[in-house]
Amino acid sequence: MKANKDMDQKDFDYTLALKRMMNDVLIVEEDLRQAKTVGIKGVSEGALRIVESRIYDLKAAIYNGLKTVGT
């Protein structure tokens, strides 16, 4: 990834948006981690596992998007 000073405005805006998305995802991930400690069982536990999987996929997509800047 290029340094901020070497990016054009479009790349900078794209990078900033992805970094903000990653920050939001990390907040949601922390909320999920805290929810899992409550001891939810059954269907709710399965739902939390699905959310956890989707968070992982979203983090990977954001990371891959950041790698495309400046290539």
What CA–CA distance (Å, rounded) separates 2 from 67?
10
3-state secondary structure of 24: helix
Supply the range of the domain harboring residue 22.
Answer: 4-68
The segments of the chain whose pLDDT lies below 50 read none
pLDDT value for 1: 67
What CA–CA distance (Å, rounded) separates 33 from 49?
11
CB atoms within 10 A of CB 62: 19
What CA–CA distance (Å, rounded) separates 35 from 33?
5
